[in-house]
Chain A
Amino acid sequence: MSEATAVATAPVATDPSLPFSQEVPGAVIGEWAADSDKALFVAPDKLLPLLTHLRDREGYDFLSSVTCVDYSAYKGKARAGISERFDVVYHIYSTRQGGGPVRLHVRVPESETVPSATSVYPGANLQEREVWDLYGVKFEGHPNLRRVLTWEGFHGHPLRKDWKEAYFEEEAKPFKSRHPEGGYKWHEDKLPWGDNNTYPQNWDPDSWSEPVTYVPVSQAPSDHHAYGELDTQSIVVNLGPHHPSTHGVFRMLTRIEGETILALEPEMGYLHRNHEKIGERNAWLMNMPFTDRLDYINSMSNNLGYALAVEKLLGIEVPERAQYIRVIMAELTRVINHTWSIGFILNDLGALQTPALYAIEEREMILDLFEEISGARLMCNYMRFGGVVRDLTPGWEERAKYLVHDRLPRALDQLDDLLSGNEIVKARGRGVGYLSAQDLIALSVSGPMIRAAGLAYDIRKAEPYCIYDRFDFDIPTLPESDIYARYYIRLLEARESIKILKQALRDIPPGEVNAYASATLNQGFGTIMGGKGGYNFRPKEGEAYARIEAPKGELGYYVVSDNKANAYRYHVRSPSYINLNALGPMSVGYKVADAVVILGAIDIVLGEVDR
Chain B
Amino acid sequence: MFGTGLLKGLGITLKHFTDTFTDDRQKVPSRYQDSIQLDKNRRIIEQPITQEGLLTIQYPEERRLLPERFRYIPMLIWDTEANEDRCTACGICAKVCPPQCIWIVRDKDENGKPVTRPAEFYIDVAVCMSCSFCTEFCPFDAIKMNHDYELAVYDRYPQLVYSKEELTVPLEYYAALWPTQFAAEQQKRKEEAEAERIRNEEKKRAAEEKARAKAAGEAAPAAAEGGAKPKRSAEELAAMKAAAAAKAAARKSGEEGGESAAVAEAAAEAMAAPAVSEADAKKARLEEMKRQAAEKAKARKESGA
Report A's interface with B, CB cutoff 8 A. Answer: 169, 173-175, 177-184, 186, 282-283, 285-290, 355, 358, 361, 364-365, 368-369, 371-376, 379, 381, 389-391, 393-394, 399, 402-403, 407, 414, 417-418, 421-425, 512, 524-531, 535-536
Q: Is B131 in contact with A381, judged by CB distance below 8 angstroms?
A: yes
Nearest CB on A from B242, distance (A): 22
Q: Sorted from nearest, which 7 A-B pairs have the closest CB atoms?
A: A530-B136, A179-B91, A182-B103, A528-B254, A525-B139, A180-B106, A286-B98
Q: Is A399 in contact with B122, judged by CB distance below 8 angstroms?
A: no
Q: Which of B34-42, B66-74, B206-214, B277-285 contacts A (4 or more CB under 8 A)?
A: B66-74
Q: Is B55 in contact with A361, judged by CB distance below 8 angstroms?
A: yes
Q: Name which residue of chain B comes closest to A355, CB basis.
A: B9
Q: Is A391 in contact with B257, judged by CB distance below 8 angstroms?
A: yes
Q: Is B106 in contact with A417, judged by CB distance below 8 angstroms?
A: no
Q: Is B104 in contact with A180, judged by CB distance below 8 angstroms?
A: yes
Most buried by A among B132, B137, B161, B257: B137
Q: How far is the CA of A422 from the CA of B254 in the complex (A)?
A: 55
Contacts A179-B104, A418-B5; A529 near B181 (Cβ below 8 A): yes
Q: Is A375 in contact with B8, judged by CB distance below 8 angstroms?
A: no
Q: Is B184 in contact with A375, judged by CB distance below 8 angstroms?
A: no
7 contacts between A and B (CB under 8 A): A178-B104, A179-B106, A183-B120, A376-B130, A418-B12, A525-B139, A528-B254
Q: A179-B94, A422-B5 are in contact. List 12 more A-B contacts (CB 8 A).
A: A178-B104, A179-B89, A183-B120, A184-B120, A286-B133, A364-B55, A375-B145, A381-B132, A418-B8, A418-B12, A528-B257, A535-B137
Give residues of chain B (1-51) contacting chain A, Cβ–Cβ below 8 Å. Answer: 2, 4-5, 8-9, 12, 16, 47, 49-50
B141 contacts the other chain (CB 8 A): yes
Give residues of chain B (64-118) contacting chain A, Cβ–Cβ below 8 Å. Answer: 66-71, 89, 91-92, 94-98, 100, 102-106, 114
Q: Is B98 in contact with A290, judged by CB distance below 8 angstroms?
A: yes
Q: Is B100 in contact with A175, judged by CB distance below 8 angstroms?
A: yes
In the complex, what residues of A have CB within 8 A of residue B114's CB? 180
Q: How far is the CA of A402 from the CA of B51 in the complex (A)?
A: 12
B255 contacts the other chain (CB 8 A): yes
Q: Is B12 in contact with A529, judged by CB distance below 8 angstroms?
A: no
B300 contacts the other chain (CB 8 A): no
Most buried by B among A184, A289, A379: A184
Q: Is A174 in contact with B161, judged by CB distance below 8 angstroms?
A: no
Contact with A along B258-288 (1 / 0, CB 8 A): 0100000000000000000000000000000
Q: Is B137 in contact with A526, judged by CB distance below 8 angstroms?
A: yes
B124 contacts the other chain (CB 8 A): yes
B159 contacts the other chain (CB 8 A): no
Q: How far is the CA of A288 from the CA of B97 in the complex (A)?
A: 12
Q: Is A285 in contact with B49, judged by CB distance below 8 angstroms?
A: no
Q: How far is the CA of A391 from the CA of B185 in the complex (A)?
A: 16
Q: Name which residue of chain A comes closest to B101, CB basis.
A: A178
In the complex, what residues of B have CB within 8 A of residue A423's CB? 2, 4-5
B168 contacts the other chain (CB 8 A): no
Q: Is B106 in contact with A414, judged by CB distance below 8 angstroms?
A: no
Q: How far is the CA of A88 from the CA of B103 in the complex (A)?
A: 39
In the complex, what residues of A have CB within 8 A of residue B296's CB? none
Q: Is B100 in contact with A535, judged by CB distance below 8 angstroms?
A: no
Contacts A183-B120, A361-B55, A379-B129; A402 near B50 (Cβ below 8 A): yes
Q: Is B135 in contact with A530, judged by CB distance below 8 angstroms?
A: yes
In the complex, what residues of A have CB within 8 A of residue B92's CB? 525
Residues of B in contact with A, size category: 35 or more
Report B's interface with A, CB cutoff 8 A. Answer: 2, 4-5, 8-9, 12, 16, 47, 49-50, 55, 66-71, 89, 91-92, 94-98, 100, 102-106, 114, 120, 122, 124, 129-133, 135-139, 141, 145, 157-158, 161, 181, 184-185, 188, 254-255, 257, 259
Q: How far is the CA of A30 from the CA of B257 in the complex (A)?
A: 51
Q: How far is the CA of A371 from the CA of B141 in the complex (A)?
A: 22
In the complex, what residues of B have CB within 8 A of residue A528's CB? 184-185, 188, 254-255, 257
Contacts A374-B69, A525-B92; A368 near B106 (Cβ below 8 A): no
Nearest CB on A from B105, distance (A): 5
Residue from B71, B103, B137, B185 within 8 A of A178 (CB atoms): B103
In the complex, what residues of B have CB within 8 A of residue A358's CB? 12, 16
Q: Name which residue of chain A comes closest to B189, CB basis.
A: A528
Q: Is A512 in contact with B255, judged by CB distance below 8 angstroms?
A: yes
Q: How far is the CA of A403 from the CA of B138 in the complex (A)?
A: 36
Q: How far is the CA of A210 from the CA of B62 in the complex (A)?
A: 51
Nearest CB on A from B128, distance (A): 11
Q: How far is the CA of A536 from the CA of B105 in the complex (A)?
A: 22
In the complex, what residues of B have CB within 8 A of residue A527's CB? 135-139, 141, 185
Q: How far is the CA of A371 from the CA of B259 in the complex (A)?
A: 18
Q: How far is the CA of A364 from the CA of B47 in the complex (A)?
A: 11
Nearest CB on B from A405, distance (A): 12
In the complex, what residues of A have CB within 8 A of residue B157's CB? 186
Q: How far is the CA of A375 from the CA of B129 in the complex (A)?
A: 13
Residue from B69, B70, B98, B137 within 8 A of A289 (CB atoms): B98
In the complex, what residues of B have CB within 8 A of residue A536's CB? 95
Q: How far is the CA of A373 from the CA of B71 in the complex (A)?
A: 11
Q: Is A174 in contact with B103, judged by CB distance below 8 angstroms?
A: no
Contacts A285-B96, A371-B70, A421-B5; A182 near B122 (Cβ below 8 A): yes
Q: Is A529 in contact with B161, judged by CB distance below 8 angstroms?
A: no
Nearest CB on B from A310, distance (A): 15
In the complex, what residues of A have CB within 8 A of residue B257's CB? 390-391, 528-529
Q: Is B2 in contact with A417, judged by CB distance below 8 angstroms?
A: no
Q: Is B47 in contact with A184, judged by CB distance below 8 angstroms?
A: no
Q: How far is the CA of A423 from the CA of B6 in the complex (A)?
A: 10
In the complex, what residues of A have CB within 8 A of residue B2's CB? 423
Q: How far is the CA of A379 from the CA of B128 in the complex (A)?
A: 13
Q: How far is the CA of A173 from the CA of B94 in the complex (A)?
A: 10
In the complex, what residues of B have CB within 8 A of residue A422's CB? 5, 8
Q: Name which residue of chain A comes closest to B138, CB basis.
A: A527
Nearest CB on B from A97, distance (A): 39
Q: Is A399 in contact with B49, judged by CB distance below 8 angstroms?
A: yes
In the complex, what residues of A have CB within 8 A of residue B97's CB? 174, 178
In the complex, what residues of A have CB within 8 A of residue B69's CB? 371-375, 390, 393
Q: Is A403 in contact with B49, judged by CB distance below 8 angstroms?
A: yes
Q: How far is the CA of A390 from the CA of B122 in the complex (A)?
A: 27
Q: Is A530 in contact with B5, judged by CB distance below 8 angstroms?
A: no
In the complex, what residues of A have CB within 8 A of residue B158's CB? 186
Nearest CB on A from B292, distance (A): 19
Q: How far is the CA of A287 from the CA of B99 in the complex (A)?
A: 10
Nearest CB on B from A158, distance (A): 18
Q: Is B67 in contact with A375, judged by CB distance below 8 angstroms?
A: yes
Q: How far is the CA of A371 from the CA of B49 in the complex (A)?
A: 13
In the complex, what residues of A have CB within 8 A of residue B102's CB? 178-179, 182
Q: How far is the CA of A205 from the CA of B85 in the complex (A)?
A: 53
Nearest CB on A from B284, distance (A): 20
In the complex, what residues of B have CB within 8 A of residue A531's CB? 136
Nearest CB on A from B247, distance (A): 13
Q: How far is the CA of A177 from the CA of B2 in the complex (A)?
A: 69
In the complex, what residues of A have CB within 8 A of residue B136's CB? 389, 526-527, 529-531
Q: Is B100 in contact with A375, judged by CB distance below 8 angstroms?
A: no
Residue from B16, B50, B105, B129 within 8 A of A183 (CB atoms): B105
Q: How far is the CA of A159 from the CA of B22 in the complex (A)?
A: 58
Q: How far is the CA of A229 from the CA of B16 in the complex (A)?
A: 55
